[in-house]
Amino acid sequence: MTVPAKAKPRKRAPNYSEAFRAAALAALDANGGNVRRTARAMGIRESTLRGWMTGRTPTDQGLRDQKRAEFDTVLEDFARRLCEVDPMDRKAPNLRDLGVALGIAVDKLLLLRGQPNAISKSESATATLDVAQLTRDELLTLLKLQDKASGRPQLPMAADLAHPVIVATDEEPAPDADE
Protein backbone atom coordinates (compact mmCIF):
# COMPACT_ATOMS: atom_id res chain seq x y z
CA MET A 1 0.00 0.00 0.00
CA THR A 2 1.37 3.40 -0.98
CA VAL A 3 1.00 6.46 1.12
CA PRO A 4 0.26 9.66 -0.78
CA ALA A 5 3.05 12.19 -0.57
CA LYS A 6 2.33 15.24 1.47
CA ALA A 7 1.67 18.30 -0.60
CA LYS A 8 4.25 21.01 -0.14
CA PRO A 9 2.82 23.92 1.75
CA ARG A 10 2.39 27.01 -0.41
CA LYS A 11 4.74 29.83 0.29
CA ARG A 12 3.01 32.80 1.77
CA ALA A 13 3.38 36.01 -0.13
CA PRO A 14 5.80 38.37 1.61
CA ASN A 15 4.10 41.00 3.70
CA TYR A 16 5.78 44.26 2.70
CA SER A 17 5.44 47.25 4.97
CA GLU A 18 3.68 50.35 3.73
CA ALA A 19 6.97 52.26 4.03
CA PHE A 20 8.69 49.71 1.76
CA ARG A 21 5.86 49.94 -0.79
CA ALA A 22 6.11 53.74 -0.74
CA ALA A 23 9.91 53.57 -1.20
CA ALA A 24 9.50 51.16 -4.12
CA LEU A 25 6.98 53.46 -5.79
CA ALA A 26 9.30 56.45 -5.26
CA ALA A 27 12.13 54.43 -6.82
CA LEU A 28 9.80 53.62 -9.71
CA ASP A 29 9.28 57.36 -10.22
CA ALA A 30 13.06 57.91 -10.19
CA ASN A 31 13.46 55.17 -12.80
CA GLY A 32 10.99 56.86 -15.12
CA GLY A 33 8.37 54.15 -14.64
CA ASN A 34 10.71 51.29 -15.60
CA VAL A 35 9.10 48.41 -13.69
CA ARG A 36 11.75 45.80 -14.52
CA ARG A 37 14.69 47.94 -13.38
CA THR A 38 12.91 49.04 -10.20
CA ALA A 39 11.76 45.53 -9.27
CA ARG A 40 15.30 44.18 -9.67
CA ALA A 41 16.77 47.01 -7.61
CA MET A 42 14.21 46.52 -4.83
CA GLY A 43 14.39 42.71 -4.90
CA ILE A 44 10.68 42.17 -5.60
CA ARG A 45 8.64 40.62 -8.39
CA GLU A 46 7.55 42.82 -11.27
CA SER A 47 3.94 41.70 -10.78
CA THR A 48 4.08 42.85 -7.15
CA LEU A 49 5.31 46.28 -8.17
CA ARG A 50 2.67 46.52 -10.91
CA GLY A 51 0.00 45.69 -8.34
CA TRP A 52 1.22 48.53 -6.13
CA MET A 53 1.28 50.84 -9.15
CA THR A 54 -2.32 50.11 -10.04
CA GLY A 55 -3.46 50.50 -6.44
CA ARG A 56 -4.34 46.85 -5.88
CA THR A 57 -2.56 47.28 -2.53
CA PRO A 58 -3.21 50.86 -1.45
CA THR A 59 -0.23 52.95 -0.40
CA ASP A 60 -0.53 56.21 1.51
CA GLN A 61 0.26 59.05 -0.94
CA GLY A 62 1.74 61.17 1.85
CA LEU A 63 4.19 58.40 2.73
CA ARG A 64 5.07 57.97 -0.93
CA ASP A 65 5.76 61.71 -1.21
CA GLN A 66 7.89 61.54 1.94
CA LYS A 67 9.98 58.68 0.49
CA ARG A 68 10.31 60.57 -2.78
CA ALA A 69 11.61 63.63 -0.87
CA GLU A 70 14.09 61.45 1.05
CA PHE A 71 15.33 59.90 -2.17
CA ASP A 72 15.59 63.36 -3.75
CA THR A 73 17.74 64.58 -0.84
CA VAL A 74 20.08 61.58 -1.06
CA LEU A 75 20.47 61.95 -4.83
CA GLU A 76 21.09 65.69 -4.62
CA ASP A 77 23.74 65.17 -1.93
CA PHE A 78 25.37 62.48 -4.07
CA ALA A 79 25.40 64.76 -7.13
CA ARG A 80 26.93 67.60 -5.11
CA ARG A 81 29.67 65.31 -3.79
CA LEU A 82 30.43 64.19 -7.35
CA CYS A 83 30.80 67.83 -8.40
CA GLU A 84 33.28 68.42 -5.59
CA VAL A 85 35.65 65.67 -6.76
CA ASP A 86 38.89 67.12 -8.10
CA PRO A 87 39.43 65.34 -11.43
CA MET A 88 43.14 66.20 -11.22
CA ASP A 89 43.51 64.12 -8.05
CA ARG A 90 45.19 60.84 -8.97
CA LYS A 91 42.98 58.95 -6.50
CA ALA A 92 39.77 60.29 -8.06
CA PRO A 93 37.67 58.11 -10.37
CA ASN A 94 38.27 58.77 -14.03
CA LEU A 95 36.46 61.70 -15.59
CA ARG A 96 34.17 59.54 -17.73
CA ASP A 97 32.92 57.59 -14.71
CA LEU A 98 32.32 60.80 -12.78
CA GLY A 99 30.36 62.22 -15.70
CA VAL A 100 28.23 59.10 -16.09
CA ALA A 101 27.43 58.93 -12.37
CA LEU A 102 26.56 62.63 -12.27
CA GLY A 103 24.38 62.30 -15.38
CA ILE A 104 22.44 59.41 -13.87
CA ALA A 105 21.95 61.24 -10.57
CA VAL A 106 20.72 64.41 -12.30
CA ASP A 107 18.45 62.41 -14.60
CA LYS A 108 16.81 60.67 -11.64
CA LEU A 109 16.46 63.98 -9.79
CA LEU A 110 14.65 65.49 -12.75
CA LEU A 111 12.32 62.49 -12.95
CA LEU A 112 11.56 62.65 -9.22
CA ARG A 113 10.78 66.35 -9.50
CA GLY A 114 8.55 65.86 -12.54
CA GLN A 115 10.82 67.93 -14.76
CA PRO A 116 11.74 66.97 -18.33
CA ASN A 117 15.02 65.18 -18.84
CA ALA A 118 16.98 64.38 -21.99
CA ILE A 119 15.04 61.13 -22.43
CA SER A 120 11.58 62.59 -21.94
CA LYS A 121 12.05 65.63 -24.17
CA SER A 122 10.69 65.15 -27.64
CA GLU A 123 12.92 67.75 -29.23
CA SER A 124 16.67 67.42 -29.12
CA ALA A 125 18.77 70.16 -27.63
CA THR A 126 22.34 70.99 -28.47
CA ALA A 127 24.54 72.58 -25.85
CA THR A 128 27.12 75.04 -27.05
CA LEU A 129 29.92 76.69 -25.17
CA ASP A 130 31.00 80.21 -25.97
CA VAL A 131 34.70 80.04 -25.14
CA ALA A 132 35.04 83.80 -25.47
CA GLN A 133 32.82 84.20 -22.38
CA LEU A 134 35.07 82.04 -20.17
CA THR A 135 37.51 83.53 -17.70
CA ARG A 136 41.19 82.64 -17.92
CA ASP A 137 40.88 80.21 -14.97
CA GLU A 138 37.76 78.57 -16.43
CA LEU A 139 39.54 78.09 -19.75
CA LEU A 140 42.60 76.59 -18.05
CA THR A 141 40.38 74.21 -16.09
CA LEU A 142 38.54 73.23 -19.27
CA LEU A 143 41.85 72.51 -21.02
CA LYS A 144 43.09 70.43 -18.06
CA LEU A 145 39.86 68.41 -18.06
CA GLN A 146 40.14 67.92 -21.81
CA ASP A 147 43.75 66.74 -21.38
CA LYS A 148 42.76 64.26 -18.69
CA ALA A 149 39.76 62.99 -20.65
CA SER A 150 41.71 62.48 -23.87
CA GLY A 151 44.82 61.08 -22.18
CA ARG A 152 47.09 63.37 -24.17
CA PRO A 153 47.88 67.07 -23.88
CA GLN A 154 46.19 69.48 -26.23
CA LEU A 155 48.07 72.25 -28.03
CA PRO A 156 49.67 74.46 -25.37
CA MET A 157 48.59 78.08 -25.09
CA ALA A 158 50.54 81.13 -23.98
CA ALA A 159 50.09 82.52 -20.49
CA ASP A 160 47.95 85.27 -21.97
CA LEU A 161 45.02 83.19 -23.20
CA ALA A 162 43.68 86.04 -25.27
CA HIS A 163 46.37 85.19 -27.85
CA PRO A 164 46.68 81.45 -28.54
CA VAL A 165 50.19 80.40 -29.54
CA ILE A 166 51.07 77.14 -31.26
CA VAL A 167 54.23 75.71 -29.75
CA ALA A 168 56.63 73.48 -31.65
CA THR A 169 56.49 69.81 -30.73
CA ASP A 170 58.81 66.87 -31.27
CA GLU A 171 56.53 65.58 -34.01
CA GLU A 172 57.28 66.43 -37.61
CA PRO A 173 54.71 68.66 -39.26
CA ALA A 174 52.32 67.03 -41.69
CA PRO A 175 53.26 67.73 -45.32
CA ASP A 176 51.19 70.36 -47.08
CA ALA A 177 48.73 69.14 -49.68
CA ASP A 178 50.54 71.24 -52.30
CA GLU A 179 53.83 69.35 -51.94
**Assigned domain for 155 exists:** yes
Count of domains for the chain? 2
Please indicate, yes or no, whether residues 143 and 90 belong to a single structural domain of this protein: no
Domain that holds residue 72: 18-112
Please indicate, yes or no, whether residues 96 and 54 belong to a single structural domain of this protein: yes
**pLDDT tens sequence across 30-45:** 888 899 999 999 999 9
pLDDT at 58: 74
**Assigned domain for 118 exists:** no
Please indicate, yes or no, whether residues 132 and 108 belong to a single structural domain of this protein: no
Does the CA dihedral 112-116-121-125 come out positive or negative? negative
d(CA 17, CA 59): 10
**pLDDT tens sequence across 124-155:** 445 566 666 767 777 777 777 766 666 655 54
* pTM exceeds 0.75 for this model: no
**Assigned domain for 174 exists:** no
Please indicate, yes or no, whether residues 94 and 25 belong to a single structural domain of this protein: yes
**Assigned domain for 4 exists:** no
**pLDDT tens sequence across 107-119:** 888 888 888 776 6
